[in-house]
Amino acid sequence: MANKHAWLLADIDKKKTHKSTVMSTFSCGGGSTMGYKLAGYDVICANDIDPEMAWHYKKNHNPKHYFLCPIKDLLKKDLPSDLYNLDILDGSPPCSTFSIAGNREKDWGKLKHFREGQQEQVLDDLFFDFLALADKLQPKIIVAENVKGMLIGNAKGYTKKVVETLKEMGYRPQVFLLDASLCNVPQKRQRVFFCAIKNTIEAPILKLNPNSKVVTCGEACLDLQNLTDEEIVETKPNGTILKYWHLTKKGRDFSEACKKLTGKDSNFSVNRLSDLKPSCTLTTKWGCISHWDTPRTLTLREYTRLSSYPDDYVFKTHQIGKYLMGMSVPPKLMEYVASEIYTQWLNPLKLEETSK
């Protein structure tokens, strides 16, 4: 019997579309794009700076328009006319300078890049480049996703500035902290969403209160436990996993075992998953996540399922695939947000326009 938590890209074509249009910026591999499509939207354009992400996006989504460039370059371009009548401009500006796992304030204002082949950028400027593009295109709704760290410490001042800028642009912004594990994603991943609608549009306050039944790692990956020969090689454990996995309880990080063996406080970001719980946040550092019943890392198929990506998504390699999903918005999380925006904001607006 097929796993009910699995899905395919072809399933998107079976979804009833309401033809609301979206442009996705910082689109990565299209996690947000798939969420919008599952919710019935038409994603007509995407943008990213990374050639590797562009390859994956085009291969799997075949977009009408795609711009491989820094988002700031879009401010100078003559863009296609259909981008000036968007229902939603979506974006997930790079967030490492706000992540609680990173250097935070120490990296603010510095030129950085994520991977080889990318241009250096001041990452904390990119959110405002995104807002400048929104000001140029004037979509009905702006949706931006970022890390929980934007609501912590000095970053709260940055978040306040984002909200104030949206208001100055003529939008009514709301800020939400959502947990992907309550949106049919077998991963406990908390993310901040900025949702803003034009002042000229009459609409109620958006309410986002996800409460789906939690999907565990064991449930999501039940049919993936017979590994191929290639997967056995792919998931070979590193020295840290071999040393601490057996001393770490399911659903815990390796810090207690490390403290017991070495007396040092470390390995807080290395985890042994539990088959009875959702995964912890899957990051780009995929070697830090170990299986619940076997001292090994996760297969690409397991990473895909726990990220709520489709089983048939095409990845060049398992390393790139895990990196890509660690950077992505889980599709099922965005499907929830996009569905609620349509139900509460866009559908009433369309009905009103039809009745005139």
Q: Residues 4-25: pLDDT tens digits?
A: 999 999 999 999 999 999 999 9
pLDDT at 205 over 80: yes
Bridge pairing between strands 141-147 and 111-112: unpaired
Select the more confidently predicted residue: 13 or 95: 13
Q: How far apart are CA 98 and CA 152, in angstroms?
A: 9
Dist CA 63 CA 30 (whole Å): 10
Cα distance between residue 153 and residue 62, in whole Å: 40
Rounded to an integer, the average pLDDT of 122-131 is: 83
Going by C-alpha positions, the residue among 284, 318, 285, 288 that lies closest to residue 302 is 318
| Inside any domain, residue 2 | no
Q: What does DSSP assign to residue 187?
A: B
CB 115 within 8 Å of CB 52: yes
Average pLDDT for residues 316-326, to the nearest whole number? Answer: 97
Q: Are residues 179 and 105 in the same domain?
A: yes
Let me know: does 261 contact 237? Beta carbons within 8 Å: no
Q: Do 67 and 151 share a domain, yes or no?
A: yes
Q: What is the pLDDT of residue 153?
A: 86
pLDDT for 122: 52
1 occurs within a structural domain: no
- DSSP string across 97-144: TT-TTS-GGGGTT-EE-SSTTPPPEEGGGHHHHHHHHHHHH--SEEEE
* 119: confidence class by pLDDT, cuts 50, 70, 90: low
In this prediction, residue 350 carries a pLDDT of 87
pLDDT of residue 1: 56
What percentage of residues in the chain have a pLDDT greater than 90?
85
SS3 294: coil
Judge if 191 and 106 occupy the same domain: yes
The pLDDT of residue 104 is above 50: no
pLDDT of residue 95: 65
Classify strands 21-25 and 42-48 as parallel, antiparallel or unpaired. Answer: parallel
Locus of tokens 């950028």:
121
CA separation (Å) from 62 to 59, 74, 115, 127, 151? 6, 20, 24, 26, 35
Tell which wins on pLDDT, 47 or 116.
Answer: 47
- Is residue 5 in a domain? no
- The pLDDT value recorded for residue 120 is 55
Contact (CB, 8 A) for 332 and 179: no
Residue 200 burial (CB count, 10 A)? 8
**Looking at the domain assignment, is residue 173 inside a domain?**
yes
Tell me, what's the pLDDT at 155? 83
How many beta carbons lie within 10 A of that of residue 122, not counting itself?
14
Cβ contact 258:266 at 8 Å: yes
pLDDT at 274 over 50: yes
Q: What is the mean pLDDT of residues 216-230?
A: 98
Lowest mean pLDDT of 28-42, 106-120, 163-177, 229-243, name the range.
106-120
pLDDT single digits (tens) 282-306:
999 999 999 999 999 999 999 999 9
Segments forming the whole domain that contains residue 20 = 10-213+330-355
Domain check: are 340 and 269 in the same one? no
- Residue 295's domain is classified under what CATH number? 3.90.120
Q: What is the mean pLDDT of residues 158-170?
A: 96
What would the two tokens of residue 292 be?
């619940």
Task: Say how far apart CA 26 and CA 32 lie, in whole Å.
Answer: 10
Q: Residue range 19-39: average pLDDT?
A: 97
Between 48-57, 101-110, 209-218, 276-285, the lowest mean confidence (pLDDT) is in 101-110
Angle in degrees, CA 227, 230, 236, rounded to 5:
80
pTM of the full structure: 0.92
Residue 33 counted as domain residue? yes
DSSP state, 78?
Answer: -
Same domain assignment for residues 65 and 164: yes
CB atoms under 10 Å from CB of 205, counted, come to 8
CA distance 64 to 58: 10
Query: Does one domain contain both 342 and 319?
Result: no
Whether residues 338 and 320 share a domain: the answer is no
Token couple for 111: 């030129």
**Residues 195, 282 share a domain:** no
> According to the model, what pLDDT value does residue 224 have?
98
Here the CATH number for the domain that contains residue 342 is 3.40.50.150
Could you tell me if 350 and 18 are in contact, meaning their C-beta atoms sit under 8 angstroms apart? yes
**Residue showing tokens 């590193």:** 238
